[in-house]
Structure formats: structure tokens, C-alpha cells
A and B are shown apart, each in its own frame.
Chain A
Amino acid sequence: MSETPGSKILGYFAMHYEGVYIPGQDYTFLSLVIYAGGLWLCIKKTGTVNVDPGSNDEVWVLSSTSAATAEYLDVINTLHGLDESFDTRLQQANDAKSAAEAAKTEALGSASQASESAQAAQIDKDAAQVAAGQAQLSANEAAGSANDASASKLAAQSAAGSAQGSATAAAESESAAESAMAGAQEAQAAAEQTAADFQGIVNLVGAGNPNLLHNAGFRKPVNQRGVSGEISAGTYFVDRWIRNSGTVTVAAEYLTLASGAVIEQRIEGNLLAGLICTISFEVSGTIYHGSGAFPTNNGTVSVEVDGYPDITFGCATGYMFVLIPATSETSIKRFKCEMGFVSTLHLDPPMDHAVELLKCKRYFEVLAGVLGQGITTGRVSAPPYAVEKRIIPTVVARNMVGGLDSISLYNTAATVYAVSSIVNVTTSSIRFISMADTVSTGQWYQFSLLISADL
């Protein structure tokens, strides 16, 4: 149907066949019913109920007589059949559409899932690549730095390949570490056994190490300064030993350190830096000892001594040193510091005073009561040292009655002449004493020279 000039389509309507009229049933507008041999059409827009066709012309109108009704009904039925067919096909189409939509939805869902799966797979792939990169980096680092490079590198490369490989490598590393620990423990046990064996051998053959300390026997120490009794001032007392703090007492058979006292001996040079040494000392018949490594740079380290306060090993410019403290009054007969981790003090003979005297004179010497002659006006000669000194020493002249920086006239000790300076000192001699007072050429003078090259 199409619009014609002067007309306008407002909508569409159609009659619908309802079969034989049934009293009491609701009929809507344009319902067609068969009643009394005729075909009746409901024309009431609001529909009707319990109004029989023919009883009210505003509700029902006769659409066809009975002759035409059968033919009409065929048409109607055909149409109805077509409608049913259409409805069936429509339903089928709708079903198909629904099925298609459902399939589409399902397909979309599947696609979304597939996309998510793809994204997840990509993420997994990226993560795997990152993990692989990290693992490769770990492998490179391990390969570059570890001493046991081969095992670590293999472990790291295995980690790069797979997590399982890493786990395996880790397990192997752990196993290797355990093996190394076990090896270290065995080595320590072996070292301890070796030390014990060595100590046994040392005891058996009576072999001892040289003592790195000088003048370390206090039963008869070298004592060129002539100190005795309690000493609580100054530094050097008996040769080579420094009173670092507190009070020490030089007795006939031992050295006593008061509580709080610290004594020190300095060892020439830095050749012991980083070396393991053992310090030992005898107190009331008991030998205490401890071992440790001297520091490699300027500084100190503590050395534990069983039953005694810690000893200190130190390093300073030009010398190493040992500090021995006392937390209670302690009388010590002898000391020893030796290379290695074994104490051999108990094997040592008594200190050889003559040998130690020569050693001590390398650091300090007293030329006592020597003679010098007036060379020219203002100069007096002096004899050479008994032992060459480690450096150019500091020399002080002392007259025969004890005064410093002056000399005495020979055989007349109280006649003294002031010294200006000790001139041109070498490690083995001094050239002459420069006098502040006038001296006579050829005249003999007497004096002592205190020659110190102490550390």
C-alpha cells in the first residue's frame, strides 16, 4: 500500500478471526465470529462481552451471509494458516536470531577469553624473558666474580634456563657450601692438631724461636740508666722498656707492674706488620701466652691471653710495639714475643746479659767516664761508640759530678766547662764536642756521653 495524493497513512489494522461465537467470551475490536450462519465483525473499539451478534448494531455488524461464509472462512483459515506459518517461521527466525545472538555472545566471550589468554600468555612471555634476562645477568655476575667460578657460573646459567635449574644449582651451591664448611672445619681441626703436634715436637726437641723482644729477662736486665726501685715518671727505665703509664718497680729478680701500669717495648721497623706472633710471660712460675697478628697499618689489635688482661700489638711509623697492662699488681720474670702461634718461653735458657747488652746498645749507650782532649780552642775530642746506632743518635754530655751539658777537667771533677753542642754526630761517632767555655789545646777532660737512638 502506498500513499495517494490527498491522503495520509496513519497506521494499519486487520480483522482477526475468532471462530464460533462463544457467549461470555471477551472479543476485541475487529474480531470476526461465526454466529447464526453469518460472519460478524466487532466494531466496538473497546471490545465487548456478553453482547450477542445481531443484538446491538454498534457492537456487531454482519460481515457476510452464510453462503459466502464458507468460502470466506477458507480464505480466513488459509490466512490463518499463513499466519501460523508466518508465526512459526517468525518464531523460528527469532529462535535462530536468539541462537545466533547467544552464539555471538558466546563467541565474543570466547574471543575475550582468548584475548585475555593471549594477554596473559604475553605477560607470561614477558615475565619469562625478564626472568631469563635476570638469570642471565646473575649468571654473568657469578661467572665474573666468584673464585669457584665454574660451579657458580653453571648454577647461574642453569637458573637462566629454568627455575628448576636454578633450584638445582642452589641446591648444589648449598651442598658445596656445606662441603666447604665441612672442609674448613676439618682444616681448622687439622691446624689445631698440627699446632698440638708442633707444640709436642717443640717440647720434645727443645726447639725455641728467637725472642723478638730485647732485654726481656728481669732477673738481671740490662740497665744502663741505672734505675731501681719504684718508677712513676719518665719513659725508658731498664733498657728498651718504656713505662707507658702507672708505676713499675725494678727489683732484683723481677719487674713489678702496679695495678693500672702499662709497659711497652718498641720493635724496630715494620717488618712484623700482619704477621702472627705469640706473646708469653712468666708470672709466679706460670707462663701465660696469647697469639695474634700485628696490624698491617698504624693502629693496634688486642691479643687475648687466658687468665690475664689482653695484650696489645701495635704498629706505628717506623716501629711495631707491644703493650702489656696490669689490672692488679703483677711481678713478671720474663717476656717473650716470637713468630708463629706456639709459645716456647718455657724452653728458653736464662737471658744472656752480654748478648742483650750489645743489642741494647744499638738503641742506647752510655760512654761513662771517657777522656777527651782539647783539640783547638772550643773543641774537645770524644771516643767512638761501642756499638753502631740504628740512626744518628741524640748525644748528651755529662760531667763527672752528674751535671748535664758540661765536662770536667781530668782529675778535677768539680772543674767543669759548659758544652755548646755535640757536633757532627754520626751513627758510630761524634767528631768533637763544641764548647761554650774556653778549653786548652792538648788538655785532657773527662765526661760521660749518653747516646740515645731509642725508638
Chain B
Amino acid sequence: MYKVYVKTDETGRIVSVNSDAFLPGTDGWTLIDDGDGDKFMHAQGNYFPHPIITDEGVPRYKLVKGKAVERTAAEISADIAAIPPPPPDPLDALKAQVAELENRNEMYADLIQELAMIVYA
């Protein structure tokens, strides 16, 4: 008989699930079920029918009155919308600087060419 535990964040979203077969301790974990077989022993990837984190990185389940339930699509969508945009990629800034320098070099080349034509006219 294996016991299934979940760990939640401050809003009750389930961020981790495992069984006592693999947990060295259960502090901070909540017992939600027990049973035999792979579903319970290997609860991490087999207890819930879907991955506990969506492709966007949002928890798919929540703990309500001691029971794990799937969050609604609206709740998940709201979480996805609230994800802060990633910080600017420093490589993009570098690429912009390079492009600006290239433009400036082209302009300097054009100016030199014009000055040469004036001097040697």
C-alpha cells in the first residue's frame, strides 16, 4: 500500500505529487490517497491523468478540501495571461548595436567618398 502526497503553492495549486516510496519525509506534503500498483507507487507521473504542469508552466490541478481537482480552463488561462513577459534577450540588444554600427560605418564610407570627390575634383 502506497500513500500519495501532493505539495501546493500558496494559492493551493498542486506543484508536485509523489508517493511515500520516494519521499524521504512528508513535511510540507498533503496526503490525498493510497493504494497498490504503479498508479500509487509511481504517482509522480501516473496518478493524475495529465501532467501536473501545462506546457505553459501553469499548475493543472489544485487541492480543494483535501482532494485534488483539475482547475478550470478559465483559471489556467488567467494564470497564463499573468505570466510576466520574459526579460529582453541581451543578444538582441547586441544585434541591434551591431546593426547600428554597420549603418554608421556605411554612412561614414559614403561621406568619405563624397569628400574625396570634392577634394580631387
Number of interface residues of A (CB under 8 A): 25
* A351 close to B (CB within 8 Å): no
Chain B residues within an 8 Å CB radius of A452: 22, 42
A residues with CB within 8 A of B: 316-318, 376-379, 391-396, 404, 420-426, 434, 452-454
Query: Taking A391-B42, A394-B18 as contacts, is the C-beta distance between A421 and B52 under 8 angstroms?
Result: yes
Query: Given the complex of chains A and B, what is the CA–CA distance between A425 and B42 in angstroms?
Result: 11
Is A423 a contact partner of B51 (Cβ separation < 8 A)?
yes
Query: Taking A317-B36, A420-B15 as contacts, is the C-beta distance between A377 and B22 under 8 angstroms?
Result: no
The 3 closest A-B pairs by CB, nearest first: A392-B45, A421-B16, A425-B45
Is B51 a contact partner of A395 (Cβ separation < 8 A)?
no
Who on chain A is nearest to B38 by CB? Answer: A391
Query: Given the complex of chains A and B, what is the CA–CA distance between A421 and B18 in angstroms?
Result: 10
Who on chain A is nearest to B18 by CB? Answer: A394
Interface SS, A side: strand
B residues with CB within 8 A of A: 15-16, 18-19, 21-22, 24, 36-38, 41-46, 51-53, 55, 57, 86-87
Query: Given the complex of chains A and B, what is the CA–CA distance between A426 and B87 in angstroms?
Result: 30
Is B16 a contact partner of A420 (Cβ separation < 8 A)?
yes
Is B24 a contact partner of A404 (Cβ separation < 8 A)?
yes
Which listed residue, B22, B37, B51, touches A394 by the CB 8 Å rule?
B22
Is A318 a contact partner of B37 (Cβ separation < 8 A)?
yes
Chain B residues within an 8 Å CB radius of A377: 86-87
Which listed residue, A316, A317, A391, A421, touches B15 by the CB 8 Å rule?
A421
Which listed residue, A378, A404, A422, touches B44 by the CB 8 Å rule?
A422
Write 22 A-B pairs (CB below 8 A) sorted by A numbering: A376-B86, A377-B87, A392-B45, A392-B46, A394-B19, A394-B21, A394-B22, A394-B45, A395-B44, A395-B45, A420-B15, A421-B15, A421-B53, A423-B51, A423-B52, A423-B53, A424-B53, A425-B51, A426-B45, A434-B57, A452-B42, A453-B42
Query: Given the complex of chains A and B, what is the CA–CA distance between A434 and B17 in angstroms?
Result: 13
Query: Given the complex of chains A and B, what is the CA–CA distance between A425 and B43 in angstroms?
Result: 12
